[in-house]
Each structure stands twice: as structure tokens, then as C-alpha cells.
Amino acid sequence: MTKVSKAFLTAALAALVLGLAACASQKEPAEQALAAIEKKFQDSGAEIQKYLPERHAEIAKSIDSLRQGIASKSYGDVVAGAKDVENSLKGAVAEARIERAKAQIAMESEWTELSKSMPAMIAAMDKKIDSQHGRPPSGMARTPGRRRSPSYDAARDAWSKAAGEISRANFEASVLSARATPRRRSPRIMESLGVKAS
């Protein structure tokens, strides 16, 4: 074997050893980066999915790509790509919280409007129904043994429950329940009773 061949072989072996060492040295950082991203996505993914479903799908796809990089031992690619995924995830968390705040403001406004209008509306509808003395309003079928419409009863009960149980912890659920009110759910009942929505 010539001196040139020996020198080339030595250099090639050295490069291979260095390459393997570099690959091994990036394995742990790659796995740690992926684990951190997965943990953050697990903690905040539901909120992102609720308010930014398209971003949630994009980030989930990116995380899956990092997992594939780990599986194929492309640790350098994982380390390089993890930063972009992490930044995208941080941005999505911030944007989702902004969207949640906007939704909260809209619901608070909706609740304020319902709180002002619903008690008087229900009182007016109850008075109108009671004045029928068991006779069904025009266009409504008689229900034996009932003085109220089942649909109206359900809507009225939904409002009463929402108004009685609302708290900071269940605010969103209560507002969603309150939407099943006579005004929101059964406008035809109001029209048939001659009660105007205020």
C-alpha cells in the first residue's frame, strides 16, 4: 500500500470517527429538544386547537417530523429544526390566548345583554301564557295537562340554571347554556304568544 493510500485511508477513518462522534453528541440535545416541545404542546395544545385549529395541525405535523428525525437518527436536523418548531409553538400559544380573551370579552358582553333582557322577557311570557288559562296560543297544539310549551319550559329552565350557577370557573359553559333561552332557542313561541323580543 502506498503512502498516499495509507494517508487517504487514515483521513477517511478519522472523518468517519469524527462524524459518528458528532452524531452521537447531538442525540441527547435532539431528544431533549423534542421532549420539551412535546411537553409544551401537551400542556397548551387543547387551547391552540380550540382557537387556532389550523395552527394546531401545522405544529402537530412539525412535531411528527421531528419524531421521524429522531427515528432515522438525523439528530442534527432535529436540533436545527426544533428551534423553529419551538418558536412557532410559542407564537401559537400567545395568539390562542389573545383569541381566548376576545371570546371572553364577547361572552361577557352577551351575558350582560342577557342579564338585562331575559328576566323581563320571561316574566312577560309567563304572564301571557298564564293569561291563556290552559288554552294553547294560536298555531300551537294543545298539550293535555300542561299550561306551558315544553320547548319554552326547557329554555326557561336553561336560563334559570345558567343564571343561578354562573361563576368565574364555569362562565363559558353557563353562557353557552344561557343561549338555550326563549329568545335564543324558541323565537316562534314568543311570536305565537304575541310577546316581542326586547
**Exposure on the CB side of residue 117, measured as CA atoms within 13 A:** 16
Q: Is the pLDDT of residue 116 over 60?
A: yes
Q: Mapping DSSP to helix (H, G, I), strand (E, B) and coil, where does residue 169 land?
A: coil
Q: Is the pLDDT of residue 35 over 50?
A: yes
Are 155 and 193 within 8 A, CB to CB? no
Q: What is the pLDDT of residue 168?
A: 62
**Exposure on the CB side of residue 103, measured as CA atoms within 13 A:** 15
- The model's pTM: 0.58
Q: Which of 8-22, 169-183, 184-198 has the highest mean pLDDT?
A: 169-183
Percent of the chain with pLDDT over 90: 34
Percent of the chain with pLDDT over 70: 56
